[in-house]
């Protein structure tokens, strides 16, 4: 019965990652846990950031992957005059702390005016939550590392069996 349980666990983890929006590479560790490497495309990242910002006035959000960080630009309609827009830009750094994804927005500006810290703090939290949901497909997983290249974002997870 233990062997069947083990096979079902492997199949379940594989199925969950294969049906996710991102791609995953899975390998088994000596201790019975799995290392799962998920990748997030620029388009998936752009959609997650747009949803995390959740501002109907923000338009044309464009995400550019750089070596080690993400550059984000867009426009924001003026609240008092919808015919005018202002330039929005910020830098997004992604890191790991205690197994959790950390999003750090910096240099956030609308027409060269810094955004208020409360808004930046909210974006940090919501972006981290959305990106974690994209890459994490098992509650028993812990984020080990994240890397950003000009082509892709890669998250490496350690998944333990229940």
State the pLDDT at residue 147: 96
Summarised one tens digit per residue, pLDDT across range 91-103 is 999 999 998 999 9
State the pLDDT at residue 2: 52
- What string of DSSP letters covers 16-55? HHHTSSSEEEEEE-TTS-EEEEEEE-HHHHHHHHHHHH--
User: Do residues 71 and 48 make contact, with C-beta atoms less than 8 angstroms apart?
Assistant: no
Domains and CATH numbers, the chain: 2-50+92-106+114-159 (3.30.70)
Instruction: Give the SS3 label for residue 3.
Output: helix
State the pLDDT at residue 160: 83
Summarised one tens digit per residue, pLDDT across range 23-67 is 667 887 888 888 888 888 999 999 999 999 988 899 889 999 999
- What string of DSSP letters covers 98-132? TTEEEEEEEEEEETTEEPPHHHHHHHHHHHHHHHH
Residue carrying the six token digits 């990748």: 39
State the pLDDT at residue 75: 94
Summarised one tens digit per residue, pLDDT across range 120-144 is 999 999 999 998 887 666 677 889 9
What element of type H or E holds 158?
A: strand 153-159
Q: Is the dihedral of CA 93, 55, 50, 136 positive or negative?
A: positive
Q: Please, what is the Cα angle at 21 between 20 and 25, to 5 degrees?
A: 65
pLDDT higher than threshold 80 for residue 12:
no
State the pLDDT at residue 11: 42
State the pLDDT at residue 149: 96
State the pLDDT at residue 13: 46
pTM for the model: 0.81
């Amino acid at each position: 019965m233990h062997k069947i349980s083990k096979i079902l666990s492997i199949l379940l983890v594989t199925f969950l990652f294969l049906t996710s929006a991102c791609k995953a590479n899975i390998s088994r560790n000596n201790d019975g846990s799995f290392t799962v490497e998920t990748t997030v495309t620029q388009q998936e990242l752009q959609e997650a950031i747009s949803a995390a910002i959740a501002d109907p006035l923000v338009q044309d959000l464009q995400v550019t992957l750089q070596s080690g960080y993400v550059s984000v630009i867009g426009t924001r309609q003026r609240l008092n005059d919808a015919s005018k827009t202002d330039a929005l830009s910020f830098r997004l750094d992604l890191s790991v702390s205690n197994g959790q994804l950390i999003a750090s927005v910096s240099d956030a500006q609308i027409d060269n005016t810094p955004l208020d810290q409360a808004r930046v703090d909210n974006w940090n939290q919501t972006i981290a939550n959305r990106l974690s949901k994209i890459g994490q497909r098992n509650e028993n997983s812990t984020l080990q590392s994240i890397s950003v290249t000009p082509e892709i974002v890669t998250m490496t997870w350690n998944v333990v069996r229940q």
